[in-house]
Structure 1
Amino acid sequence: MPVSPAANVLYGLPHSLYTGIARSYLRTQGIAYLELPPAHADFVDRILPTIKRSIIPVLETPDGEIIQDSLDIIDHFERQGVPYPAYPEGPLQSVLAVILQYYGYQAMLRHAMHYRWSYLEQQESFLRHAFATGSDATRAEAIMARMQSYLPALGINAETVPLIERSFEGLLDILEAHFAQHPYLFGGRPSVADYGLIGPMFAHLGRDPVPSDLMKRRSPNVFRWVERMTAPGLDTPDFPGYGSEFIAEDAIPSTLEPLLKHVAEEIFPELTAKFECMDALIEKLQPEDGQPVASKAHQRHVGQVETTFRGAPITSGVAPYSMYILRRADRVLERASDADRSKVQAYLQRFGLDKALPGERGYSVDRRNHVEVWERR
């Protein structure tokens, strides 16, 4: 049955990491929407021919605009104006929020996919039910097999599994202390940092049986934040009188500093190696402005790098989408005063996060016609 044109339609799935981000944002902002699975006829007949790849989430607005990607869905509504804007006004909070958004969107794929697929035997019935939602058992089987095949490109192997699990437990402990004092990462409402983390922390780690059980037993305040992020509006009865603003004067609470150290330890040297891989690719190919980053629309990786995760050697896929996210932090600094720019850079250096920003490289990554493209300046 065709969907009514009067509603925002979110095409996604309950167990999808990136759908979870978009859904959380829409619920928080009170934006009415109808969620449908990608097996729905409207997605197959109208959306797929437009975006040219089978990917979720996709939002179709009442006037027929199609927006693919949770980040772009957020930015679409931010431009229109929402009750709880997700980008802090202070340059330091804003830059850190983008870096934490990147961590959730990209670096935490390793944790999410490990706990989902390495413990398949313990949670198989749950996952089979999830992947058959809006589909059928045969298609679910094929999708599950494809998802499991991604583990090597995410650096998940026998040597890294203990490190990934210690990393997740450490992250839970850090966030537990923070969310005991603050409802969201930067204060009284979620920022893009919260939306970045909620993807893996809900869809995989807060929903699949094995990691969600660990989260509930080890870090109840973190699980409460997951509930808060997936509820309508600001679900903060446990913080009466806190308010809905970001922490004043662009301040960073001391409880957030261990998270920044943790993130720096997680993303480097891998992120630096990925930037260098893209630099070499640009030098070799000399692409024109607007040229797709890959020859096929569904292809997200443009190469692989040999690097390390917490000291263990890994092979990791290089997705230009990482630069697409982090360029937002560069743009914050471009708009900042000289004094604010120096303040932010000094703070990032304290935690080893200064190299998380791409900086001037002679190129960037944009999204046009629903695919990532090289942007040449």
Structure 2
Amino acid sequence: MAKQEAKFDLYVFHRSYFCGKMMAYMRYKQIPCNTIYATLDKHGSDIASNTGLRQMPCVRTPEEQWLQDTTPMMDWFEERFPQAPVVPTDPVVGFLTRLLEDYADEWMWRPSIYYRWHTKEDRTLYKKLFVDELLGGFWAIGGPVSWLAGKLVHRHQEEKFLSGDGLTKANRKHVEAVYINTLDRLETIFQKQPYLLGSHPSLADFGFFGSMFWHFSNDPTSNRIMQERAPGVYEWVARLWNATSTKLGEVKFDYVVGQVPEGWEPLLRDACEAYLPYLSENAQHFEKGSKRFDWNVQGFLYPGVHVSPYRVWCRERLQGFLNALSESDQNRVREILEPMGGWKPLTSNAHIQSNWDPEGIAPLCKPQKLPLMYKLKSRFTGSNHVRTRRAWMKD
């Protein structure tokens, strides 16, 4: 009898931005895994005690190691499952791919939360879904208990990610424009080709898929906008979800070595004008010890934006990938990003360190004892907001 292949356990909440991203990646790479649709009631303590966060997605390996955070997880899997690579071999295009993936991960977060929790139709739906499908257990019994749980979930989302993170009536149109403009940029590409680099999905595809799958293509308001404005993006969401490396065969990305891939310039310009300057300012305020700062971007003010240690680490990673390039490749990246306004905010103040992953061993985690206050707060929200850094485990 043939020996059964060991499988990974992938813990997900199937309304989650990053869970959809990781699920699609594992499906495409055909990495053997058991997908576990987890609730905090049944699985939260196990996940938190092994990773430090009641947060999904996370992976338990056949060797009982725990992994968390989609971007380093995907790098980890790329090393162990090199078939159908998702990062181009050309160093310049590979770096631009990583930049777009990071931009898509982090900059699409605010509009995805906005469309889900700001409009009445959407938040009414998701208050119930979060209680039933994420919290579970006692909170999902219905009646006043579930109503109260829904109110607490909505309050957390509002205070942490909307009004609590700089959203005002004055900048609401800018948040909406981030989504609309991204749809338009992607639609132009997907009317011509199946994926961002031609016939096969890249790391950048999976980055944009996170927000476009469980959020924008499923939430009522953003779904209607996508169907009417960007049917090619709507089709791409289904195409990527259905993609497997076996069906698509040998990876042949379509790009010219050292050049910006076709259709990417508007997306890169968005990242250079908004995201990279944000990362730079966030890092400077982190170094000062600030908790919040006022952020001006493209003519709009976001007052009291949270300082994010994690995004200081995102910037560190990008700088690390850039520094790993040869001098000629770094110069070529500079020639691309500098006219768009992205080179200086990416490379300045490079000494600022987040200490998010001081030993450089992400995404591996280690078991830890959680403080009581964290347990109480996250029981209602699944939040990691009382934590400031992650505990990683050596391989």
Deviations for 1:87-114, whole angstroms, at most 9, x for unmatched residues?
Answer: 2222221222222122222111111111
2:299 alignment partner in structure 1: 311
2:316 alignment partner in structure 1: 327
Q: How many angstroms does 1:276 deviate by? A: 1.0
Structure 1 counterpart of 2:64, one-letter code: G
Scaled by the length of structure 1, the TM-score of the pair is 0.82
CA contact under 8 A between 2:39 and 2:133: conserved in structure 1?
no
Cα separation, partners in 2 of 1:72 and 1:339, compared to 1, 3 Å: closer
* Higher mean C-alpha displacement, 247-256 vs 365-374: 365-374
Structure 2 counterpart of 1:60, one-letter code: R
Cα separation, partners in 2 of 1:325 and 1:235, compared to 1, 3 Å: farther
Q: 1:176 aligns with which of 180, 184, 187?
A: 187
2:154 alignment partner in structure 1: 144
Structure 1 counterpart of 2:117, one-letter code: W
* In 1: Cα distance, 2:351 partner to 2:87 partner: 25
Deviations for 1:192-226, whole angstroms, at most 9, x for unmatched residues?
Answer: 22222211121211111110111011101111121
* Higher mean C-alpha displacement, 322-331 vs 251-260: 322-331
Deviations for 1:8-44, whole angstroms, at most 9, x for unmatched residues?
Answer: 1111111111111211110111112222234277734
CA contact under 8 A between 2:8 and 2:32: conserved in structure 1?
yes
Cα separation, partners in 2 of 1:176 and 1:127, compared to 1, 3 Å: farther
* SS of residue matched to 2:39: coil
1:287 alignment partner in structure 2: none
Q: How many angstroms does 1:335 deviate by? A: 2.6
* SS of residue matched to 1:357: helix
* SS of residue matched to 2:264: helix
Q: Is 2:179 the partner of 1:161?
A: no
Scaled by the length of structure 2, the TM-score of the pair is 0.79
Structure 1 counterpart of 2:154, one-letter code: M
2:373 alignment partner in structure 1: none
Structure 2 counterpart of 1:326, one-letter code: R
Deviations for 1:231-253, whole angstroms, at most 9, x for unmatched residues?
Answer: 2415999xxx9964352424323
* SS of residue matched to 2:201: coil
Structure 1 counterpart of 2:52, one-letter code: K
The RMSD of aligned alpha carbons is 2.9
Q: How many angstroms does 1:80 deviate by? A: 0.5
1:27 alignment partner in structure 2: 27
Cα separation, partners in 2 of 1:46 and 1:262, compared to 1, 3 Å: closer
| Unmatched runs of 5 consecutive residues or more in structure 1 | 282-301
2:261 alignment partner in structure 1: 253
Q: How many angstroms does 1:5 deviate by? A: 11
* SS of residue matched to 2:67: strand
1:229 alignment partner in structure 2: 240
Greater relative contact order (Cα 8 A, min sep 6): structure 1 or 2?
2
* Higher mean C-alpha displacement, 18-27 vs 358-367: 358-367
Structure 2 counterpart of 1:305, one-letter code: F
* Higher mean C-alpha displacement, 321-330 vs 124-133: 124-133
CA contact under 8 A between 1:128 and 1:140: conserved in structure 2?
yes
2:353 alignment partner in structure 1: 363
Deviations for 1:282-330, whole angstroms, at most 9, x for unmatched residues?
Answer: xxxxxxxxxxxxxxxxxxxx72111113212112112122232233332
Cα separation, partners in 2 of 1:246 and 1:357, compared to 1, 3 Å: farther
Where do 1:1-377 residues align within 5 Å?
Answer: 6-39=6-39, 43-121=43-121, 124-125=124-125, 128-129=128-129, 131-133=131-133, 135=136, 136-137=139-140, 138=146, 139-150=149-160, 151-233=162-244, 244-267=252-275, 269-281=277-289, 303-314=291-302, 315-358=304-347, 360-361=350-351, 363-367=353-357, 369=365, 371-372=389-390
CA contact under 8 A between 2:276 and 2:346: conserved in structure 1?
no
* Higher fraction of helix: 2
Structure 2 counterpart of 1:226, one-letter code: V
2:378 alignment partner in structure 1: none
* SS of residue matched to 1:249: coil
Cα separation, partners in 2 of 1:159 and 1:325, compared to 1, 3 Å: same
CA contact under 8 A between 2:12 and 2:38: conserved in structure 1?
yes
Q: How many angstroms does 1:127 deviate by? A: 5.3
Count of residues in correspondence between the two structures: 348
Cα separation, partners in 2 of 1:167 and 1:40, compared to 1, 3 Å: closer
| Unmatched runs of 5 consecutive residues or more in structure 2 | 141-145, 367-388
